[in-house]
Amino acid sequence: MATRIVTLPGDGIGPEILAPAVALLERFVPDVKVEEHVFGGASIDAHGTALTDSTLAACQSADAVLLAAVGGPKWDTTDPDQPRPEQGLLGLRKGLGLYANLRPVRPLPALYDASPLRREIIEGTDLLVVRELTGGIYFGEKSRSATSATDVCTYSVHEIERIARVGFGAARSKVASVDKANVLETSRLWRETVKRVHAEEFPHIELEHVLVDNAAMQLVSAPRRFDVILTENLFGDILSDEAAMLTGSIGMLPSASIGDTDAPGPHPGLFEPVHGSAPDIAGQGIANPLAMFLSVALLLRHGLTLESEALALESAVDKALDQGLRTRDLGGTASTAEATEAVLAALG
């Protein structure tokens, strides 16, 4: 049976970086059947909602989902009754049960000098942000009146246990569990639960608890000290954009979102760059497509268990950068098309 991948170009630079990513995917998976759906702002324009039932159903029955980015000024609103592109993304993550978001941060030696941080700070960094993705303040009850607003942050023991297992399972040596246990009740439950899962199931892994403000500081002062950073939804969102700068640009960071792969039935993962739709550079053909390409590599690895193909694509990206490829965000002049050609050439 053909491999079915649903692609969601979304908005802004999304379609510009997704098209060459699909070409790469077709090269590695010759029998792939790609099914594209409008999503985010484009779907609001076409259907009045950021994620239609039929798009969600198509994603649920796919082998994997490849998403570029959503959002943009056209749909920016502070009116809680208006649809927003980002609701599509949250609905998709929830609808596919993707509670674990993996964001590997592996600065390439070729880009050590492309970061605003000094080479000696970055050198040797190889960390993984494991972000809880379907709970916390993102999904709690919201309310709004003329004079106040609330966003409730809730975590259950079950939600913390399952993401903790992903974090410990992915660690080579140690986990830094990041919370705000000095202030937040949800963080105190997080800390207790992570401690228990550690003692009962992963005693061979080193565990430390780091308060989120301190973690933000240490990410840029001593990033090498981290292996796995295990954290809740909102903290993981913020810390991963910060960590992206260790690689030189937000345009370099891919992500994989996975759910309960032991459960019966299909469990497609979602693969997307960490960055957004970059409205400020959309339509100019200058977006860095490498985070998108590296998300294809994660799709090959985690979505289709094609490890050697994933490695081949990652090596081609490394090689193209070694040979001098630099898009504008990395201080160069290469266009999206030139970056694509460089990676294709490196693939041989």
180 is catalytic: yes
Is 45 annotated in the active site?
no
How far are the Cα atoms of 228, 231, 298, 306 from residue 198, in angstroms, in the given order? 14, 14, 27, 30
Judged by DSSP in three states, 79 sits in coil
Report in angstroms how near the CB of residue 291 gets to ligand NAD at its nearest. 6
Q: Does 253 bind ligand IPM (CB under 6 A)?
A: no
> Is residue 207 within the footprint of ligand IPM (CB under 6 A)?
no
C-alpha distances (whole Å) from 59 to each of 95, 119, 270 are 9, 41, 9
Per CB under 6 A, 89 contacts ligand IPM: yes
Residues in 181-200 at the binding interface with ligand NAD, rule: CB under 6 A: none
- List the single partner that 279 binds among ligand IPM, Mn ion, ligand NAD, none, CB under 5 to 8 Å by kind: ligand NAD
According to DSSP, the β-strands at 174-179 and 269-273 are unpaired
* Min dist. Cβ of residue 50 to ligand NAD (A): 11
Distance from C-alpha of 320 to C-alpha of 339, rounded to nearest angstrom: 8
Q: Among this protein's residues, is 174 annotated catalytic?
A: no
| Closer residue to ligand NAD, CB minimum distance, 284 or 308 | 284
What does the alpha-carbon distance between residue 184 and residue 35 come to, in Å, rounded to a whole number? Answer: 43
| Residue of 102, 278, 297, 313 that binds ligand NAD (CB under 6 A) | 278
Q: Which residues contact 44 (CB under 8 A, 6 or more apart)?
A: 50, 75, 83, 85
Instruction: State the nearest-atom distance from the C-beta of 2 to ligand IPM, in Å.
Output: 29
Q: Confirm or reject binding of residue 44 to ligand NAD (CB under 6 A).
A: no
DSSP state at residue 283: T
53 assigned to active site? no
CA-atom Rg of the chain in angstroms = 20
Which listed range, 69-77, 199-207, 234-242, 305-313, lies at the site for Mn ion (CB under 5 A)?
A: 234-242
- Least Å distance between CB 38 and ligand NAD? 14
Region near ligand IPM per CB under 6 A, out of 73-81, 83-91, 142-150, 301-309: 83-91
Interactions with ligand NAD, residue window 143-162 (CB under 6 A): none
Q: Where do the DSSP E strands lie in the chain?
A: 3-10, 32-36, 64-69, 100-105, 127-132, 142-144, 149-151, 174-179, 206-211, 228-231, 254-258, 269-273
Decide which of ligand NAD, Mn ion, ligand IPM, none touches 278; Cβ closer than 5 to 8 Å per partner kind: ligand NAD
Q: Which of 237, 272, 309, 314 binds Mn ion (CB under 5 A)?
A: 237
**Active-site residue (options: 241, 318, 319, 322):** 241
d(CA 10, CA 68): 6
Alpha carbon distances (Å) from 38 to 15, 26, 273: 10, 20, 17
Residue with tokens 């309960």: 260
Which residues are near Mn ion by CB under 5 A? 237
Which residues are near ligand NAD by CB under 6 A? 13, 69-72, 86, 89, 250-251, 272, 275-281, 287-288, 291, 329
Which residues are near ligand IPM by CB under 6 A? 71, 86, 89-90, 237, 274, 276
